[in-house]
Amino acid sequence: MLAISSEQTEGVGNVSRRDFLRLGGLSVLGLSAAEQRARAEASGKGLRRCIFILMTGGPSHFETFDPKPGAPGEIRGPFKPIATAIPSVQFCETLPLLAQRADRLAIVRSLTQDAAPIHETGQQLIQTGRLAGANLLPPSLGSVVSRLLGSRNDLPAYAVVPHLLGDTGTPIWQGQRAGSLGTEFDPWEVTDETGFRHSEFAADGEVVSDSGLRLPVGDPLRMAAAANWMAEPDPIRRSYGDSEFGRACLSARRLVEHGVRFVTVNMFDSLVGRVTWDCHASSSWAPAVLADYRNSLCPDFDRVLSILLDDLEQSGLLQETLIVAAGEFGRTPRINSQGGRDHWPCVWSALLAGGGIAGGRVLGASDARGTFPADRPVAPAELAATILHSMGVDLSTRLALPQGAEIALADADPIAELIAGS
């Protein structure tokens, strides 16, 4: 196993292609971090990027990718299914544009976890593949990529747009930062001051304080320019729309084009008093109702993600850019008395495209009432392993944390059924 220390790694340019070929027959044991990056890049995968769209709040699988037209009305909800570009596969009518592009997508319908049904545990699992413990704040996948593959083009490897996660209910670890890996691998957040923000966490995951830091690597002004969606031509800006989510996805596309390896897009950075995927329909905290899926949430998501896919495909970058869209859990099978749905981590859906993922596939299934997986349960750790594998990270690598402990990169194998050519 390769142990990566917390010291700054050398640049990948220090390892030539000839040196890589000489190392090609060796195991991971004994390779430096620079050699690891050279190995990944020479394979072609190490040049890939990832745009991870966090559908903050936990979207209902019924009203998006996994409709249940045969279930009773209080379960199936108010909307109808529609055909997609995959024969015999249906989406909810709220996603007509993505339905037309389903042959480019891989849909996982059987994500499942049994942790506490709160946003933060789901956010930990979907962004890191594991839960926080007394001695570990698991680093986000973006932070792991930053640590192992390093920066390119004098830009940070990991960024979050438009803002880092804020108040999602409980002030504990959300899994979007570097955690136990060290703050130098925290994500860049582009702000009006072109600065870098992060929150400090205690060992138990509770927030200690906010502090302002400068980015430890890269040029802040160059980063701000790379993320500047206003630099795009008017027709491109109009195609993404005028929502914060649309602008964030356009910024994300620009960032990966400029060399940022991993960009997380928070569709919502907080959940307090806003219309989000968190459709309890029960209080000022979570006022969204199912009608908001039809009227605003799904139309925005559907249009922006479709444009992003088209944009990347037209530029030739889709196969080099992994797109992942997922929330932290699904919603309850039965509509509640206020006309919404509550938290449900037992089964939910995710979308993947590009980046070596085979399109036109549906993996797994929920049961007839969308309650539990009926076929091929998928753990968040498998999704995490798939993302790292797609980006060329050797999953046999172990990370040596600053505190002296070592952790595996993933607690599961990649999802072989989704990998092109498998």
Q: What is the pLDDT of residues 37-85, one digit of tens each?
A: 676 666 666 579 999 999 999 999 999 999 999 999 999 999 999 999 9
Q: In 10 A of CB 82, how many CB atoms?
A: 15
pLDDT at 211: 35
Beta strands per DSSP E along 155-227: 158-161, 188-189, 196-201, 207-213
pLDDT at 191: 62
Q: How far is 76 from 70, CA to CA, in rounded Å?
A: 7
pTM over 0.95: no
pLDDT at 404: 87
For residue range 230-268, what is the model confidence (pLDDT) as tens digits? 999 999 999 999 999 999 999 999 999 999 999 999 999
Q: How far is 178 from 176, CA to CA, in rounded Å?
A: 7
In CATH terms, the fold of domain 50-394 is Alkaline Phosphatase, subunit A (3.40.720)
Mean pLDDT, all residues of the chain: 86
Q: Is the pLDDT reported for residue 312 higher than 50?
A: yes
Determine the angle formed by the axes of helices 298-314 and 244-258, rounding to 10 degrees.
20
Burial class (CB in 10 A: 0-12, 13-18, 19+), 118: middle
Residue 2 binned pLDDT confidence (cut-offs 50, 70, 90) = very low
Cis ω for the linkage preceding 162 (within 30 of 0): yes
Burial class (CB in 10 A: 0-12, 13-18, 19+), 222: middle
Return the domain boundaries, the chain. 50-394
CA pseudo-torsion sign 181, 226, 105, 240:
positive
What tokens does 110 get?
A: 């059987």
Q: Is the pLDDT reported for residue 193 higher than 60?
A: no
Q: Are the beta carbons of 288 and 60 closer than 8 angstroms?
A: no
Q: Is the pLDDT reported for residue 209 higher than 60?
A: no
For residues 137-143, give the mean pLDDT. 97
> Does residue 106 sit in helix, strand or coil?
strand
% pLDDT > 90, the chain: 74
